[in-house]
Amino acid sequence: MAMEAYQAQFAAHLPKAGPAWLADLRQAAAARFSAAGLPDRKVEEWRYTNLKPVQEQLFALDTAPVGDTPPALLQDSHRLVFSNGVLQGSADDLPDGVRLAGMAETMAENPGLLAGHMGKLAQGQELPLPALNQALSRDGYVLAIDPGISVSRPIEILFLSDGGASYPRNLILAGAGAQATVVEHYLGLGGGGYFINAVTEVEAAAGAKLQRYKIQQDASGSSHIATLAGQLQDGARLENFDLNLGGQLVRSEIHMALQGVGAEAALNGVYLLRGKQHCDNAIQMDHAVGATNSQQDYRGILDDHAHAVFQGKITVRPDAQGIEGHQLNKTLLLSDEAEIDSKPELQILADDVKCSHGATAGELDETGLFYLRSRGIPEDEARQLLMTAFISETLAKIDSDAVRGIMERLVGEWMAA
Protein backbone atom coordinates (compact mmCIF):
# COMPACT_ATOMS: atom_id res chain seq x y z
CA MET A 1 0.00 0.00 0.00
CA ALA A 2 1.33 3.36 -0.93
CA MET A 3 2.64 5.38 1.98
CA GLU A 4 0.40 8.30 0.96
CA ALA A 5 -2.67 6.29 1.93
CA TYR A 6 -1.28 5.79 5.45
CA GLN A 7 -0.29 9.44 5.62
CA ALA A 8 -3.85 10.39 4.78
CA GLN A 9 -5.00 8.23 7.69
CA PHE A 10 -2.42 9.85 9.99
CA ALA A 11 -3.64 13.32 9.05
CA ALA A 12 -7.29 12.38 9.52
CA HIS A 13 -6.66 10.87 12.94
CA LEU A 14 -4.41 13.36 14.61
CA PRO A 15 -5.83 14.06 18.07
CA LYS A 16 -8.13 17.05 18.14
CA ALA A 17 -7.89 17.39 21.90
CA GLY A 18 -5.62 16.19 24.69
CA PRO A 19 -2.13 17.01 25.85
CA ALA A 20 0.52 18.39 23.56
CA TRP A 21 2.91 15.55 24.37
CA LEU A 22 0.45 13.07 22.87
CA ALA A 23 0.24 15.01 19.62
CA ASP A 24 4.04 15.13 19.54
CA LEU A 25 4.30 11.43 20.23
CA ARG A 26 1.90 10.59 17.46
CA GLN A 27 3.44 12.90 14.96
CA ALA A 28 6.90 11.53 15.69
CA ALA A 29 5.57 7.98 15.32
CA ALA A 30 3.88 8.85 12.03
CA ALA A 31 7.13 10.33 10.80
CA ARG A 32 9.07 7.24 11.87
CA PHE A 33 6.66 4.95 10.10
CA SER A 34 6.65 7.15 6.99
CA ALA A 35 10.42 6.94 6.88
CA ALA A 36 10.71 3.21 7.52
CA GLY A 37 7.56 1.81 5.89
CA LEU A 38 6.41 -1.73 6.50
CA PRO A 39 9.43 -3.98 6.92
CA ASP A 40 10.22 -6.27 4.03
CA ARG A 41 12.10 -9.55 4.10
CA LYS A 42 15.45 -7.89 3.54
CA VAL A 43 15.27 -6.83 7.18
CA GLU A 44 16.85 -9.68 9.19
CA GLU A 45 14.08 -9.75 11.83
CA TRP A 46 11.48 -10.14 9.07
CA ARG A 47 13.32 -12.64 6.93
CA TYR A 48 10.73 -15.38 7.30
CA THR A 49 7.56 -13.30 7.39
CA ASN A 50 6.00 -11.62 4.42
CA LEU A 51 3.66 -8.75 5.21
CA LYS A 52 2.05 -8.89 1.79
CA PRO A 53 -1.55 -9.28 3.06
CA VAL A 54 -1.11 -6.04 5.01
CA GLN A 55 0.79 -4.29 2.27
CA GLU A 56 -1.74 -4.87 -0.45
CA GLN A 57 -4.69 -3.30 1.27
CA LEU A 58 -5.53 -0.23 3.29
CA PHE A 59 -7.87 -1.19 6.11
CA ALA A 60 -10.57 1.23 7.19
CA LEU A 61 -10.17 2.72 10.64
CA ASP A 62 -13.74 3.31 11.72
CA THR A 63 -15.52 -0.01 11.63
CA ALA A 64 -18.81 -0.29 13.48
CA PRO A 65 -18.77 -2.37 16.66
CA VAL A 66 -19.51 -6.09 16.43
CA GLY A 67 -23.09 -6.93 17.41
CA ASP A 68 -23.07 -9.41 20.26
CA THR A 69 -20.39 -9.92 22.88
CA PRO A 70 -19.57 -13.57 23.58
CA PRO A 71 -19.40 -14.82 27.17
CA ALA A 72 -16.23 -14.35 29.20
CA LEU A 73 -13.56 -17.05 29.30
CA LEU A 74 -12.93 -16.62 33.00
CA GLN A 75 -15.44 -16.73 35.76
CA ASP A 76 -15.47 -13.88 38.20
CA SER A 77 -13.10 -11.53 36.41
CA HIS A 78 -12.80 -7.78 35.89
CA ARG A 79 -13.59 -7.52 32.22
CA LEU A 80 -13.19 -4.98 29.44
CA VAL A 81 -14.51 -5.52 25.93
CA PHE A 82 -13.15 -3.79 22.84
CA SER A 83 -15.08 -4.09 19.65
CA ASN A 84 -13.16 -3.40 16.44
CA GLY A 85 -10.67 -1.51 18.57
CA VAL A 86 -13.02 0.64 20.67
CA LEU A 87 -13.98 0.11 24.30
CA GLN A 88 -17.57 -0.89 25.08
CA GLY A 89 -18.72 -0.30 28.64
CA SER A 90 -16.38 -0.39 31.62
CA ALA A 91 -14.95 -2.70 34.26
CA ASP A 92 -16.71 -2.93 37.60
CA ASP A 93 -15.93 -3.72 41.24
CA LEU A 94 -12.34 -2.61 40.99
CA PRO A 95 -10.42 -2.70 44.25
CA ASP A 96 -8.94 0.55 45.64
CA GLY A 97 -5.62 1.43 44.10
CA VAL A 98 -6.41 -0.21 40.78
CA ARG A 99 -7.30 1.56 37.57
CA LEU A 100 -8.55 -0.58 34.72
CA ALA A 101 -10.02 1.55 31.97
CA GLY A 102 -9.84 2.50 28.33
CA MET A 103 -6.84 4.35 26.98
CA ALA A 104 -8.98 7.06 25.34
CA GLU A 105 -10.97 7.54 28.53
CA THR A 106 -7.81 7.66 30.65
CA MET A 107 -6.24 10.15 28.29
CA ALA A 108 -9.25 12.43 28.78
CA GLU A 109 -9.52 12.00 32.55
CA ASN A 110 -5.97 11.56 33.75
CA PRO A 111 -3.35 12.12 31.05
CA GLY A 112 -0.68 12.58 33.73
CA LEU A 113 -0.87 8.85 34.47
CA LEU A 114 0.20 8.10 30.92
CA ALA A 115 2.78 10.82 30.33
CA GLY A 116 6.28 9.42 30.10
CA HIS A 117 4.98 5.85 30.00
CA MET A 118 3.06 5.60 26.78
CA GLY A 119 5.53 4.91 24.00
CA LYS A 120 8.44 4.57 26.39
CA LEU A 121 9.21 0.93 25.69
CA ALA A 122 7.69 0.16 22.31
CA GLN A 123 9.49 2.59 20.10
CA GLY A 124 12.73 2.99 18.24
CA GLN A 125 13.74 2.91 14.60
CA GLU A 126 13.51 -0.85 14.34
CA LEU A 127 9.85 -0.97 15.35
CA PRO A 128 7.79 0.46 12.48
CA LEU A 129 4.65 -1.49 13.39
CA PRO A 130 4.45 -0.14 16.96
CA ALA A 131 5.03 3.29 15.40
CA LEU A 132 2.07 2.71 13.08
CA ASN A 133 0.07 1.65 16.11
CA GLN A 134 1.06 4.78 18.01
CA ALA A 135 0.08 7.00 15.09
CA LEU A 136 -3.33 5.44 14.50
CA SER A 137 -4.45 3.96 17.81
CA ARG A 138 -7.81 5.12 19.11
CA ASP A 139 -8.06 3.02 22.24
CA GLY A 140 -6.71 0.17 24.30
CA TYR A 141 -6.62 -0.70 27.99
CA VAL A 142 -4.74 0.84 30.86
CA LEU A 143 -4.07 -1.16 33.98
CA ALA A 144 -2.36 0.82 36.71
CA ILE A 145 -1.88 -0.79 40.09
CA ASP A 146 -0.67 1.09 43.15
CA PRO A 147 2.32 -0.28 45.07
CA GLY A 148 1.59 -3.25 47.28
CA ILE A 149 -1.84 -3.92 45.81
CA SER A 150 -2.67 -7.41 44.71
CA VAL A 151 -5.61 -7.77 42.34
CA SER A 152 -7.19 -11.00 43.44
CA ARG A 153 -9.62 -11.49 40.57
CA PRO A 154 -8.17 -12.06 37.11
CA ILE A 155 -8.53 -9.36 34.50
CA GLU A 156 -9.93 -10.33 31.13
CA ILE A 157 -9.66 -8.09 28.10
CA LEU A 158 -11.55 -9.12 24.99
CA PHE A 159 -10.60 -7.69 21.61
CA LEU A 160 -13.45 -8.64 19.35
CA SER A 161 -13.03 -8.01 15.63
CA ASP A 162 -14.81 -8.56 12.37
CA GLY A 163 -13.45 -5.92 10.02
CA GLY A 164 -11.21 -2.97 9.23
CA ALA A 165 -8.07 -2.18 11.14
CA SER A 166 -7.62 -1.81 14.86
CA TYR A 167 -4.60 -0.61 16.74
CA PRO A 168 -5.08 -1.46 20.42
CA ARG A 169 -2.63 0.46 22.59
CA ASN A 170 -2.30 -1.10 26.01
CA LEU A 171 -0.32 -0.12 29.06
CA ILE A 172 0.28 -2.01 32.29
CA LEU A 173 1.90 -0.09 35.14
CA ALA A 174 2.49 -2.28 38.18
CA GLY A 175 3.73 -0.45 41.28
CA ALA A 176 6.27 -1.98 43.64
CA GLY A 177 5.08 -5.35 44.91
CA ALA A 178 1.81 -5.14 42.96
CA GLN A 179 0.31 -8.34 41.59
CA ALA A 180 -2.17 -9.12 38.83
CA THR A 181 -3.23 -11.68 36.24
CA VAL A 182 -4.27 -10.37 32.83
CA VAL A 183 -5.74 -12.33 29.94
CA GLU A 184 -5.78 -10.65 26.53
CA HIS A 185 -8.22 -12.51 24.36
CA TYR A 186 -8.30 -11.72 20.66
CA LEU A 187 -11.35 -13.17 19.01
CA GLY A 188 -12.46 -12.85 15.42
CA LEU A 189 -15.92 -13.26 14.01
CA GLY A 190 -16.62 -14.24 10.43
CA GLY A 191 -13.99 -15.01 7.82
CA GLY A 192 -12.29 -11.72 8.56
CA GLY A 193 -9.99 -9.90 6.14
CA TYR A 194 -9.14 -7.49 8.94
CA PHE A 195 -5.91 -6.23 10.44
CA ILE A 196 -4.96 -5.95 14.11
CA ASN A 197 -1.76 -4.28 15.14
CA ALA A 198 -1.61 -4.29 18.94
CA VAL A 199 0.97 -2.99 21.38
CA THR A 200 1.15 -3.80 25.07
CA GLU A 201 3.72 -2.01 27.20
CA VAL A 202 4.45 -3.38 30.66
CA GLU A 203 6.37 -1.62 33.38
CA ALA A 204 6.84 -3.67 36.51
CA ALA A 205 8.35 -1.87 39.50
CA ALA A 206 10.46 -3.67 42.10
CA GLY A 207 8.95 -6.92 43.31
CA ALA A 208 5.83 -6.72 41.14
CA LYS A 209 4.44 -10.05 39.96
CA LEU A 210 2.49 -10.14 36.72
CA GLN A 211 0.93 -12.92 34.75
CA ARG A 212 -0.03 -11.92 31.26
CA TYR A 213 -1.70 -14.50 29.07
CA LYS A 214 -2.63 -13.94 25.48
CA ILE A 215 -5.12 -16.10 23.65
CA GLN A 216 -5.23 -15.34 19.96
CA GLN A 217 -8.26 -16.66 18.09
CA ASP A 218 -8.53 -14.13 15.32
CA ALA A 219 -10.52 -14.94 12.19
CA SER A 220 -9.01 -17.25 9.62
CA GLY A 221 -8.45 -14.51 7.04
CA SER A 222 -7.07 -11.88 9.40
CA SER A 223 -3.61 -10.46 9.97
CA HIS A 224 -2.60 -10.20 13.60
CA ILE A 225 0.52 -8.36 14.65
CA ALA A 226 1.27 -7.85 18.30
CA THR A 227 4.15 -6.35 20.17
CA LEU A 228 4.79 -6.78 23.86
CA ALA A 229 7.44 -4.51 25.30
CA GLY A 230 8.29 -4.93 28.95
CA GLN A 231 10.70 -3.67 31.53
CA LEU A 232 11.15 -5.41 34.86
CA GLN A 233 12.81 -3.75 37.85
CA ASP A 234 14.50 -5.38 40.85
CA GLY A 235 12.93 -8.70 41.76
CA ALA A 236 9.95 -8.18 39.45
CA ARG A 237 8.56 -11.22 37.71
CA LEU A 238 6.54 -11.55 34.53
CA GLU A 239 5.02 -14.76 33.33
CA ASN A 240 3.85 -14.38 29.74
CA PHE A 241 2.10 -17.04 27.71
CA ASP A 242 1.10 -16.75 24.07
CA LEU A 243 -1.44 -19.19 22.69
CA ASN A 244 -1.73 -18.71 18.96
CA LEU A 245 -4.61 -20.51 17.29
CA GLY A 246 -6.14 -18.10 14.79
CA GLY A 247 -5.25 -15.67 12.06
CA GLN A 248 -3.76 -16.11 8.63
CA LEU A 249 -0.67 -13.96 9.11
CA VAL A 250 0.48 -13.72 12.71
CA ARG A 251 3.51 -12.05 14.19
CA SER A 252 4.01 -11.91 17.92
CA GLU A 253 6.97 -9.85 18.93
CA ILE A 254 8.34 -9.52 22.45
CA HIS A 255 10.97 -7.11 23.70
CA MET A 256 11.74 -7.82 27.32
CA ALA A 257 14.28 -5.92 29.38
CA LEU A 258 15.38 -7.38 32.70
CA GLN A 259 16.39 -4.04 34.11
CA GLY A 260 16.77 -4.73 37.83
CA VAL A 261 18.68 -7.28 39.86
CA GLY A 262 16.63 -10.41 40.49
CA ALA A 263 14.15 -9.68 37.71
CA GLU A 264 12.70 -12.76 36.09
CA ALA A 265 10.74 -13.41 32.91
CA ALA A 266 9.14 -16.64 31.76
CA LEU A 267 7.99 -16.28 28.17
CA ASN A 268 6.24 -19.37 26.95
CA GLY A 269 3.90 -20.17 24.16
CA VAL A 270 2.07 -22.68 22.03
CA TYR A 271 1.14 -22.33 18.37
CA LEU A 272 -1.25 -24.69 16.63
CA LEU A 273 -1.59 -24.05 12.92
CA ARG A 274 -3.22 -25.63 9.93
CA GLY A 275 -4.24 -24.67 6.41
CA LYS A 276 -1.98 -21.88 5.20
CA GLN A 277 -1.56 -20.16 8.54
CA HIS A 278 1.68 -18.37 9.24
CA CYS A 279 2.81 -17.59 12.77
CA ASP A 280 6.05 -15.87 13.70
CA ASN A 281 7.17 -15.59 17.33
CA ALA A 282 10.05 -13.15 17.58
CA ILE A 283 11.54 -12.61 21.02
CA GLN A 284 14.30 -10.36 22.23
CA MET A 285 15.34 -10.96 25.81
CA ASP A 286 17.71 -8.42 27.27
CA HIS A 287 19.61 -9.27 30.46
CA ALA A 288 20.61 -5.68 31.20
CA VAL A 289 21.93 -6.39 34.70
CA GLY A 290 23.29 -9.33 36.69
CA ALA A 291 21.39 -11.95 38.67
CA THR A 292 18.43 -11.98 36.31
CA ASN A 293 16.61 -15.04 34.98
CA SER A 294 14.79 -15.74 31.78
CA GLN A 295 13.16 -18.76 30.31
CA GLN A 296 11.46 -19.37 26.96
CA ASP A 297 9.61 -22.51 25.97
CA TYR A 298 7.68 -22.37 22.70
CA ARG A 299 6.09 -25.42 21.17
CA GLY A 300 3.89 -25.85 18.19
CA ILE A 301 2.04 -28.32 16.02
CA LEU A 302 1.80 -27.65 12.30
CA ASP A 303 -0.48 -29.37 9.84
CA ASP A 304 -1.21 -28.91 6.12
CA HIS A 305 0.82 -26.02 4.63
CA ALA A 306 1.26 -24.13 7.88
CA HIS A 307 4.43 -22.18 8.45
CA ALA A 308 5.85 -21.18 11.81
CA VAL A 309 8.83 -19.07 12.71
CA PHE A 310 10.61 -18.88 16.02
CA GLN A 311 13.29 -16.27 16.45
CA GLY A 312 14.59 -15.93 19.95
CA LYS A 313 17.50 -13.79 20.92
CA ILE A 314 19.00 -13.63 24.37
CA THR A 315 21.35 -10.71 24.94
CA VAL A 316 23.54 -10.63 28.03
CA ARG A 317 25.14 -7.23 28.65
CA PRO A 318 28.83 -7.03 29.64
CA ASP A 319 28.18 -6.49 33.37
CA ALA A 320 25.25 -8.87 33.66
CA GLN A 321 27.04 -11.57 35.64
CA GLY A 322 25.35 -14.54 37.28
CA ILE A 323 22.37 -14.59 34.97
CA GLU A 324 20.46 -17.60 33.70
CA GLY A 325 18.77 -17.63 30.32
CA HIS A 326 17.19 -20.64 28.70
CA GLN A 327 15.37 -21.05 25.45
CA LEU A 328 13.64 -24.02 23.89
CA ASN A 329 11.60 -24.39 20.71
CA LYS A 330 10.00 -27.66 19.67
CA THR A 331 7.73 -28.23 16.73
CA LEU A 332 5.72 -31.20 15.62
CA LEU A 333 5.14 -31.42 11.89
CA LEU A 334 2.04 -33.38 10.92
CA SER A 335 2.43 -32.88 7.20
CA ASP A 336 5.29 -32.91 4.73
CA GLU A 337 4.29 -29.45 3.51
CA ALA A 338 4.35 -27.83 6.96
CA GLU A 339 7.44 -25.86 7.79
CA ILE A 340 9.24 -24.32 10.75
CA ASP A 341 12.10 -21.86 10.68
CA SER A 342 13.69 -21.80 14.10
CA LYS A 343 16.47 -19.38 14.79
CA PRO A 344 17.79 -19.28 18.32
CA GLU A 345 20.45 -16.69 18.99
CA LEU A 346 22.65 -15.96 21.99
CA GLN A 347 24.66 -12.81 22.34
CA ILE A 348 26.64 -13.18 25.55
CA LEU A 349 28.95 -10.39 26.60
CA ALA A 350 29.40 -11.45 30.26
CA ASP A 351 31.38 -14.51 31.35
CA ASP A 352 29.58 -15.84 34.42
CA VAL A 353 26.31 -16.95 32.82
CA LYS A 354 24.21 -20.06 32.45
CA CYS A 355 22.56 -20.06 29.05
CA SER A 356 21.09 -22.73 26.85
CA HIS A 357 19.08 -22.95 23.72
CA GLY A 358 17.68 -25.78 21.71
CA ALA A 359 15.36 -26.34 18.79
CA THR A 360 13.84 -29.54 17.48
CA ALA A 361 11.36 -30.38 14.76
CA GLY A 362 9.99 -33.80 14.06
CA GLU A 363 7.05 -35.95 13.16
CA LEU A 364 4.63 -37.72 15.44
CA ASP A 365 6.31 -40.77 16.99
CA GLU A 366 5.12 -43.74 14.91
CA THR A 367 6.27 -46.26 17.51
CA GLY A 368 4.34 -44.43 20.22
CA LEU A 369 1.29 -44.37 17.98
CA PHE A 370 1.55 -48.13 17.41
CA TYR A 371 1.95 -48.74 21.15
CA LEU A 372 -1.21 -46.76 21.94
CA ARG A 373 -3.23 -48.38 19.17
CA SER A 374 -2.08 -51.84 20.22
CA ARG A 375 -3.84 -51.06 23.53
CA GLY A 376 -7.10 -50.49 21.70
CA ILE A 377 -6.94 -46.70 21.49
CA PRO A 378 -8.34 -45.58 18.11
CA GLU A 379 -5.88 -43.83 15.84
CA ASP A 380 -7.40 -40.33 16.10
CA GLU A 381 -7.49 -40.51 19.86
CA ALA A 382 -3.94 -41.88 19.96
CA ARG A 383 -2.72 -38.99 17.82
CA GLN A 384 -4.43 -36.51 20.10
CA LEU A 385 -2.85 -38.10 23.15
CA LEU A 386 0.61 -37.75 21.64
CA MET A 387 -0.02 -34.18 20.46
CA THR A 388 -1.33 -33.22 23.88
CA ALA A 389 1.71 -34.83 25.47
CA PHE A 390 3.98 -32.88 23.16
CA ILE A 391 2.82 -29.51 24.44
CA SER A 392 1.81 -30.56 27.97
CA GLU A 393 5.13 -29.59 29.53
CA THR A 394 4.77 -26.05 28.21
CA LEU A 395 1.13 -25.72 29.26
CA ALA A 396 2.08 -27.02 32.70
CA LYS A 397 4.22 -23.90 33.17
CA ILE A 398 1.13 -21.67 33.26
CA ASP A 399 0.85 -20.58 36.87
CA SER A 400 -2.86 -19.78 36.88
CA ASP A 401 -4.94 -22.95 37.20
CA ALA A 402 -7.99 -21.26 35.71
CA VAL A 403 -6.13 -20.01 32.65
CA ARG A 404 -4.33 -23.31 32.17
CA GLY A 405 -7.70 -25.04 32.20
CA ILE A 406 -9.01 -22.69 29.49
CA MET A 407 -5.93 -23.14 27.35
CA GLU A 408 -6.13 -26.93 27.70
CA ARG A 409 -9.74 -26.84 26.60
CA LEU A 410 -8.96 -24.68 23.54
CA VAL A 411 -6.02 -26.89 22.63
CA GLY A 412 -8.27 -29.96 22.92
CA GLU A 413 -10.85 -28.32 20.67
CA TRP A 414 -8.19 -27.53 18.08
CA MET A 415 -7.02 -31.12 18.07
CA ALA A 416 -10.51 -32.55 17.79
CA ALA A 417 -11.40 -30.20 14.91
Partner 1 sequence: MLEIKGLHADVDGKEILKGIDLSIGEGEVHAIMGPNGSGKSTLSYVLSGRDGYDVTAGTITYRGRDLSELSIEERAAEGIFLGFQYPVELPGVSSTTFLKTALNAVRRQRGQDELDAVQFMKRLRVHTKALNISDDMLRRGVNVGFSGGEKKRNEILQMALLEPHFAVLDETDSGLDIDALKVVAEGVNALRGPKRSMLVITHYQRLLDYIVPDYVHVLAHGRIARSGGKELALELEEKGYGAFVSGTEAA
Nearest distance from C-beta of residue 267 to partner 1, angstroms: 21
Nearest distance from C-beta of residue 279 to partner 1, angstroms: 22
Nearest distance from C-beta of residue 375 to partner 1, angstroms: 4
- When the beta carbons of 89 and 378 are compared against partner 1, the nearer one is 378
- How many residues bind partner 1 (CB under 8 A)? The answer is 22
Please give the residues from 346 up to 405 whose contact with partner 1 meets the rule CB under 8 A. 366-368, 370-379, 381-382, 385-386, 388-390, 392-393
- When the beta carbons of 195 and 390 are compared against partner 1, the nearer one is 390
Nearest distance from C-beta of residue 407 to partner 1, angstroms: 15
- When the beta carbons of 112 and 376 are compared against partner 1, the nearer one is 376
Per-residue HEC secondary structure of the chain comes to: CCHHHHHHHHHHCCCCCCCHHHHHHHHHHHHHHHHHCCCCCCCHHHCCCCCHHHHCCCCCCCCCCCCCCCCCCCCCCEEEEEECCEEECCCCCCCCCEEEEEHHHHHHHCHHHHCCCCCCCCCCCCCHHHHHHHHHCCCCEEEEECCCCECCCCEEEEEEECCCEECCEEEEEECCCCEEEEEEEEEECCCCCCEEEEEEEEEECCCCEEEEEEEEECCCCCEEEEEEEEEECCCCEEEEEEEECCCCEEEEEEEEEECCCCCEEEEEEEEEECCCCEEEEEEEEEECCCCCEEEEEEEEEECCCCEEEEEEEEEECCCCCCEEEEEEEEEEECCCCCEEEEEEEEEECCCCEEEEEEEEEECCCHHHHHHHHCCCCCHHHHHHHHHHHHHHHHHCCCCCHHHHHHHHHHHHHHHHC
Nearest distance from C-beta of residue 151 to partner 1, angstroms: 33
- When the beta carbons of 155 and 332 are compared against partner 1, the nearer one is 332
- When the beta carbons of 386 and 410 are compared against partner 1, the nearer one is 386
> Per CB under 8 A, does 305 bind partner 1?
no
- When the beta carbons of 125 and 367 are compared against partner 1, the nearer one is 367
Nearest distance from C-beta of residue 332 to partner 1, angstroms: 12
Binding site for partner 1 (CB under 8 A): 366-368, 370-379, 381-382, 385-386, 388-390, 392-393
